[in-house]
Structure 1
Amino acid sequence: MPGRRWRRRFGGLVLLVILLAVLAYLRPEEQLVAADGERVHVMDGDTLRIGARIVRLADMDAVELHQSCQTSDGARWLCGQEARSALEALVARGGLRCESRTSDRFGRAVATCSVDGVSDVSADLVAQGWAVSGDVRRAGIHAAREREAREAGRGIWRGTFDRPDEWRAAHPREDRP
């Protein structure tokens, strides 16, 4: 009865694969949580999903997630992913609180956010060099921090990059907020 033996082994293998998939799905992972207990997902360098709400950080514009930059010696690096990591590190400090000021054309809340030890997440990301100051409506609110980051060569300022608004214009996506 080689057919039955093969089916039994195959069935056991399928069961093992399913069990491993379930365990991988259920494994505990570090979850980012807002001060009100909502789960937080950092989407990119300036956008958060807090529960079901999408929040865009006010007064700055971070490089896009899939954007790359160039170091002063010409090497390309994934600055958009590093910008997201910088925001994740801030959110991981705990105590995330966001105060919505308005909404953008995509329906996202535009908010000023703070975390434990940092009163303005946007200002901190600009100072770290992961974002440029302002947006098209409020350009320059963190201009001094941007200048300091640029002069120190921090974050995106360690080489060259396309400004986020210019990069988005050159890489249009219909689904991009």
Structure 2
Amino acid sequence: MPLAATQAEIRGVLRVVDADTVEVAGQRIRLHAIDAPEVDQPCETEHGQSWVGCGAWVSHVVAQEFGGAAARCVPLDRDAYDRIVARCFVAGDDLGATLVSRGLAFAYVKYGQDYVALQAEAAAADRGLHALRLTQPSWHRKTRAVGRMPVDPGCRIKGNISSSGKIYHLPGQAFYEQTGIRPEQGERWFCSEADARAAGWRVARR
């Protein structure tokens, strides 16, 4: 829903909600064309260790550095949640560009190509999130809503029940990502293959 060209700029002290959402002068604002990990989103280190606090860390870093700063935001649109979408500036610098350049957010190409080149530079230098492994935040939001993301990041094995019986899927297997877990139907998450086998599940063939 594009805003009128006459929409006034929003100025005030910036409060960080998460790494891509802020509040200025009482208005909640989604930063234009960037996407950052959700606060509850985990990631993996280069050695394959799960880091539960990954998304929270990113939000904390952004809040520590930019929270309380004077901001000027130029409204561009409204999103599906009726939040203002804007390009915000702190000390004259485009905040979205700064976050992407530092590897604290990704270019959200669905909504604009503005920061694609900056993301490529950050990725080449392994800055911030580019030194870790994580799903795209948009995919995390989608799968979390339909039982595809574990509540406990340490218990990622999916115990699915189908016409073929009780089958568990490991991360990286062919049908892992698309498998949703429905506890109300007896399906469950497992923390180890031994737990899954002991409960009567067998491993998926691929």
> Partners of 2:106 and 2:119 in 1: how far apart?
6
- C-alpha deviation, 1:112, in angstroms: 0.5
| Deviation beyond 3 Å, 4+ runs, structure 1 | 35-38
Counterpart for residue 184 of structure 2: none
2:45 to 63, 71, 90: 71
| Counterpart code for 1:69 | C
Counterpart for residue 126 of structure 2: 153
Asked if 1:56 is matched to 2:30, the reply is: yes
Contact 1:55 1:110 in 2 (8 A): yes
Which is richer in strand?
2
Structure number with greater CO (CA < 8 Å, separation at least 6) is 1
User: How has the CA–CA distance of structure 1 residues 68 and 172 changed in structure 2, closer, same or farther, with 3 Å as cutoff?
Assistant: same
Contact 2:11 2:73 in 1 (8 A): no
Asked if 1:83 is matched to 2:88, the reply is: no
- C-alpha deviation, 1:36, in angstroms: 4.5
> Partners of 1:82 and 1:135 in 2: how far apart?
24
Q: TM-score, normalised by structure 1?
A: 0.69
- C-alpha deviation, 1:80, in angstroms: 1.1
Structure 1, gaps ≥5 residues long:
1-34
Q: Which has the larger radius of gyration?
A: 1
Q: TM-score, normalised by structure 2?
A: 0.60
Which is richer in helix?
1
Asked if 1:172 is matched to 2:125, the reply is: no
User: How has the CA–CA distance of structure 1 residues 109 and 44 changed in structure 2, closer, same or farther, with 3 Å as cutoff?
Assistant: same
Counterpart for residue 29 of structure 1: none
User: Number of residues paired by the alignment?
Assistant: 136
User: How has the CA–CA distance of structure 1 residues 67 and 54 changed in structure 2, closer, same or farther, with 3 Å as cutoff?
Assistant: same
Root mean square deviation of aligned Cα:
2.1
1:125 to 85, 99, 102: 99
Trace 1:3-42 onto structure 2 (pairs within 5 A): 36-38=11-13, 40-42=14-16
Asked if 1:100 is matched to 2:75, the reply is: yes
User: How has the CA–CA distance of structure 1 residues 92 and 42 changed in structure 2, closer, same or farther, with 3 Å as cutoff?
Assistant: closer
- C-alpha deviation, 1:92, in angstroms: 3.7
Contact 1:70 1:159 in 2 (8 A): yes
Contact 1:46 1:87 in 2 (8 A): no
- C-alpha deviation, 1:152, in angstroms: 1.3
Contact 1:57 1:110 in 2 (8 A): yes
